[in-house]
Chain A
């Protein structure tokens, strides 16, 4: 396994179009996270899954955003009716959560850079 994989690496779209990004986590990692990062800022949490269950969504995740992880493996993040403010790097991470309150390592993919024109 070579780590977290994200596709595409870059996406340019016109305002109003829908886009979908894919994330393949490290095998057997049960947690998967989506973050958004704009220039000069730290990654901002969007949502995360434990297996196929979406456990938390940020207020940043408007109704135009939807994420799925149908079989507890790969995940998709869809943005409908894109706006220029959606331009950012979208990062995916995965971790192997063993239960309880103990934090574990999270590994990030290289991200998908979205540009809305």
Chain B
């Protein structure tokens, strides 16, 4: 079955610094690669995604890069702000099955 891992499990950065979270997956059929942000007591919120025919996608301060050969994709947050503090999950999938969530990364942005 699908195996999804995230690193690091926790990450603390100073406000204004960059943060990078990596997600590795095992299923070569995966073709859609989203990142979710989850704040305490709330459901996961889709923040950025990428498809297998694209290597990088950027949306203001966040970006996602994909290395399909190596089966990993990464979330990049620049100029971090306290409101970026949350748990981040990756959830690679193809259209034929469900989303399998990674183990999560707790990001703390220190003011």
Residue positions of A touching B, CB distance < 8 A: 4, 6, 33, 35, 40-45, 48, 56, 91, 93, 97-111, 113
Within the complex, which residue of B41, B51, B89 is in contact with A43, where a contact is CB–CB below 8 Å?
B89
Which of the four size classes fits the interface of chain B? 20 to 34
Do residues B101 and A111 form an inter-chain contact, with CB atoms below 8 A? Answer: no
Do residues B34 and A42 form an inter-chain contact, with CB atoms below 8 A? Answer: no
DSSP majority for the B interface? loop
**Which of A43, A97, A109 has the most C-beta atoms of chain B within 10 angstroms of its own C-beta?**
A43
Query: How long is the Cα–Cα vector from A109 to B104 in the complex, in angstroms?
Result: 18
DSSP majority for the A interface? loop
**Residues of the A chain whose Cβ atoms lie less than 8 Å from the Cβ of B89:** 42-43
Do residues A111 and B95 form an inter-chain contact, with CB atoms below 8 A? Answer: no
Question: Taking CB as reference atom, which chain B residue is nearest A99?
Answer: B95
Query: How long is the Cα–Cα vector from A110 to B42 in the complex, in angstroms?
Result: 5
